[in-house]
Structure formats: structure tokens, C-alpha cells
Amino acid sequence: MAEIISGPEGIALGVQRLHAGGLVSFPTETVYGLGADALDAAAVERVFRLKGRPSNNPLIVHVSDEGMAGRVVETWSDDASTLAKAFWPGPLTLVLPRLPIVPDVVTGSGPTVAVRCPGHPVALALIEAFGGPIVGPSANPSGYISPTIPEHVRDAFDGEDLIVLDGGHCRAGIESTVLDLSGETPTVLRLGVIGAHRISESLGREIRVAEAQHAPEEARSPGLIGAHYQPRTPARLISGNDLPSAPSSAVLVSWSLETHPSGGVLIRMPEDLGGYAQAIYRALHEADRSAGSTIWIEHPPEPSDPDGRAIAAALHERLRRATHS
């Protein structure tokens, strides 16, 4: 039985499980993670098995501070330090050459490791109390919608002996920005709430954004291409103009409508992009549980400010893949 536990008791139990090579789901500000001791290959293999995740899709290593990051990377570069000071704890993952102490299973046998310090008090308390780095891919079956409340994790892994630390509804709501610092030019591999413009500003120079979908060789892991974040109910992304033709069997996920035009289920989304990102996976879970035969997702609002545009681009990437057939 998967079980949700709150407070210090949960942290203590979580630490015990991690030391024993077990798994514990923990909240971060992005989504709920499936945690295991990052330096214990057998424990990390359990994460891959439980998620059904392809073994060549590397994991992010979660640390409590820059010092702990220094234990898994070859060199903590000036850029890494600058960005960690600007954005950690927070939704920015940094990819750097790894040290041999990191098991191959974590990195997909590649030469680099992805590290991030999550901005959630429960995640930080767990990592600090454990005293070492923890892997934390999203706590969902591979390819399915990411979890943003503890109940999503419990329901997905109901039959498993798994504890889920309660941290409420994740604040950012979509996965971290992933930035590769292992090459000449810093390169965004996955879009997130922290936009490339803010990373550029902080480093004081231009960076690149990899277009994984157009250049799969740039993806460096299957986690960055193809279908992902998918409800089981077929979903499509539609423009606001098409909403009035929605049949009642289509569940609508919309920020512009107040009622379903044919009397079906409508899940209303916030109009501000931060609120939209926080709400989207929860809305997709809810849509998937309802009796509709399809899910129609209205294109998110198009803001004009740079932070809003960055979130909109990250959302489009998630929604494109959630509706990919």
C-alpha cells in the first residue's frame, strides 16, 4: 500500500528507507519525485523498474546545496556557481561532467550528470537528513502525466510499498529547466519556468536553446523527445476558436470559457501563466479521471512579458507531447 505521510515522522521514515536502498516519493516545487540514494546503483535500478523508464533516460540528482553538488561533478565551474547562487534552491537543473562515484545507471552511462537543488522545504529536509544526493524523476509511470499532489503518486502506485511525503500542491507545476554546462556554450536542453533570457542575463552572455524535436541528436536522452506527459484518454490541443464546436463527450481544459458549450465537463484554468503551469497536470489528471471520451486542451494564453513567454513556451512543449499520437 502506498501511504501519504506528513511532517517530521515522514522525513525520518524516508531517511530510513533511503539508507535501506528503498524508495520514497517526495515533493519538490516542480512535481513529486521518486527518490532513491543516487550513489546506490541497486536502489536507482528500482526507480527505473517501478516507473518502467527506459534505461538510457538519465536521472536528475537532487542536492541540498552547491557543496553536495561538488561531490558528484568533476568541476563545479564558475558558471555553475553563478547560476546556483542566482536560482537555487529552484527549478534549474545543471548538466556537468560527472565523477566516477556516480553510478552508470543514473547517467545512462554518459559522461555527464544532471544536478539540482529543489526549492521545497520537505525535499531539502529529506536530502539534508539523509546527508547525500537523491535521484528524483517524476513519481509517475514513465510517459504518463507528472504528479503535482501526493494523491497522484499514491493512486499511480497504489499496490506498492511506497511512502509519499506530503508537501501539498507543487508550486511551479512543470519540470525544471535543464541547462547543459558541459560544452563550450551553455545550452538549454529542456524548457521550464526559468527562461533562457534569465539564464543569459545572469551569466552575462548569450546561451543556446536546443531544439530537441527538430534535431533529435541534440536531445541526448529519450526523455526529451516524442510522446510524454500523456493522459490515457486521447487529448488534443485546440485554439479558442474551435471551442464552441466541442461535443459534450469532450472534456474541456480552458482558460477562456466559463461553461462547456454542450454541457459537458469543463476544467477552468487560471489565465496567468504561472498559475496555469501550476494547475495543468492536476487538470489533466482530473480530465483523465472524468468520463469524457476525449480531452480538448485550449492553447494557453500568449503573454507579452519575457517571463510569461518563457513559461508559455515550456507549456507548449509539454502540451505538444501530451497530445502527440
Residues forming contacts to ligand AMP in the complex (CB under 6 A) are 57-60, 95, 107, 110, 112-114, 137-138, 175, 178, 189-190, 220-221, 223-224
Measured at CB, which residue is nearest to ligand AMP?
A: 223
Give residue for cell 539564464: 199
- Three-state DSSP at 11 gives helix
- Give the one entry of ligand AMP, Mg ion, none that residue 177 binds, where binding means its C-beta sits below a cut-off of 5 to 8 angstroms depending on kind: none
Burial class (CB in 10 A: 0-12, 13-18, 19+), 134: buried
Calculate the CA 125 to chain-centre distance. Answer: 19
Binding mask 132-161 for Mg ion (x = CB under 5 A): ------x-----------------------
* Bond into 89 cis (ω within 30): yes
| Phi–psi pair at 66, nearest 5 degrees | -60, -35
- Give the one entry of Mg ion, ligand AMP, none that residue 28 binds, where binding means its C-beta sits below a cut-off of 5 to 8 angstroms depending on kind: none
CA distance 66 to 73: 10
User: At its nearest, how many Å lie between Mg ion and the CB of residue 143?
Assistant: 9
Calculate the CA 238 to chain-centre distance. Answer: 24
User: At its nearest, how many Å lie between ligand AMP and the CB of residue 110?
Assistant: 5
For ligand AMP, the closer CB: 112 or 254: 112
Q: How is residue 192 written as a grid cell?
A: 521550464
For ligand AMP, the closer CB: 58 or 118: 58
Give the interface segment with Mg ion, choosing from 130-138, 244-252, 278-286, 316-324 (CB under 5 A).
130-138
For ligand AMP, the closer CB: 58 or 150: 58
Burial class (CB in 10 A: 0-12, 13-18, 19+), 72: buried
- Give the one entry of Mg ion, ligand AMP, none that residue 132 binds, where binding means its C-beta sits below a cut-off of 5 to 8 angstroms depending on kind: none
Of the candidates 95, 90, 147, 115, the one whose C-alpha atom is nearest the C-alpha of residue 39 is 115
Q: Which stretches of the chain bind Mg ion, using CB under 5 A?
A: 138
